[in-house]
Amino acid sequence: MLNIDTVIQYSQDLQVLYVEDNQDVREMTLVILNDFFNTIIVASNGMEGIEKFKEHKIDLVITDINMPKMDGLSMVQEIKKIKHDIPVLIFSAYNDSTHFINAIKIGIDGYLVKPIDIDQFQHSLYKCVHDIQIQKEHHEYQTQLENKVQQQLEVLRYKDKILLEQSKHAAMGEMIDIIAHQWKQPLNSIVMHASMIENDIESMEEEVLKSEFKECYNNLNIQVDTLLTTLNEFRNFFRPNNNLHNISLQEIINATLILLKDELTAHQIEVVHSCDKDLTLQVHANDIKQLLINIITNAKEEMVKNNLPSHTRKIEIVCSRKNNKTVIKIKNSGEGIDESIIENIFQMNFTTKEENGGTGIGLYMCSLICEKYNATIEAYNDNGAVFQITF
């Protein structure tokens, strides 16, 4: 025997459209229906039933057949054009085969002859609400599956983007190797001629002229050293290296700033940094350079976009060691991050720069680099945006 509590468990949260033109029958039937449903939408004829169906999110239709303006079967046909799989129960005083066959043709789920037999009603209702529950579970599963597929597609797209960035780096590395090879001989020649000039300087008798030539010679050496250092930094940055080393944070920051020097100078951005020379990380140096480049570049772009006066454009990098954790803070003097989006900025595909071709990959890559080293990255505002990385 069917347990009535089981039926109620399935039915109570459903919204039902009940259509009946006879007021006395309607009121008596509602006494029964109220035991099973919390929400019942009532209509007195087929036309009104269609309107109520359009106005509400209906899970089940219960209707009489013979009604004014539009009979129940015609109403069900119109409703099924709107929602073809809506479950329908017919309550009717007609028990002839014509009505029954017509009801089957339009796809009703139960045909009960008045007066309603409560056991028969419970069995028909259980079948309907059980099917509805299965449909809902199927829909939820389908939605979850589609969401998972979409998430995996997003991950694959981002992996493709990252691979594209890496292939660009590899191509840049090859090009810089070629440039370095071409520059090596001219730079060596400059150094050799400078050494020859140095010997001539020592033989000069006029001290003023000797001093001027020495200054010129020293400046020449500084420029050559700068060229060589910059070239080596670019070569190292674009050359894959999977070896972990204990590397000085100070050296990583200095190398990063060499890579960004021209861009920061062009936009009149001052960078100050404070880092204990003994502070090290066991990392791939290029990963941390990439991390710093993405954050510093973002800060630069925001300060330029917001037209900050050049004398206020400043980025501060502070490294410290606290509670056995290494902390890198990168703070800029910009307007800060909009609090409404600050929780989303490290998410895949999130960007505020669509109009400028932003891809949302920069800060997402930062989060991936941190994840690689079991580090955390967070952003907050403190008279400007602060990015804090904790190893």
Q: 280: number of CA atoms within 13 Å, CB side?
A: 7
Residue 143 within a domain: no
Are 29 and 110 in a shared domain?
yes
Are 218 and 256 in a shared domain?
no
Residue 273 within a domain: yes
Residue 284 within a domain: yes
Residue 124 within a domain: no
Are 281 and 317 in a shared domain?
yes
Q: 360: number of CA atoms within 13 Å, CB side?
A: 17
- What is the 8-class DSSP label of residue 354? G
Which residues partner with 137 through β-bridges? none
Tokens of 39: 């929400």
**Euclidean distance between CA atoms 195 and 190, whole angstroms:** 9
Segments forming the whole domain that contains residue 365:
241-390
Full pLDDT tens readout for the chain, 391 residues = 556 676 676 677 788 899 888 888 888 888 888 888 888 889 988 899 899 999 888 888 888 888 888 888 888 888 888 888 888 888 776 666 566 666 667 767 777 777 766 777 777 777 777 777 777 777 778 888 888 888 777 777 766 766 666 666 666 666 766 676 667 777 777 777 777 777 777 666 676 666 777 777 777 777 777 677 767 766 666 665 666 778 889 988 988 888 788 888 888 999 999 888 788 888 888 788 888 988 998 888 888 888 888 888 999 999 998 888 999 999 998 888 888 888 888 886 666 655 554 445 678 878 888 888 889 999 999 888 999 999 9
CATH code assigned at 287:
3.30.565.10
φ, ψ for residue 170 (rounded to 5)? -60, -45
Are 235 and 245 in a shared domain?
no
Residue 122 within a domain: no
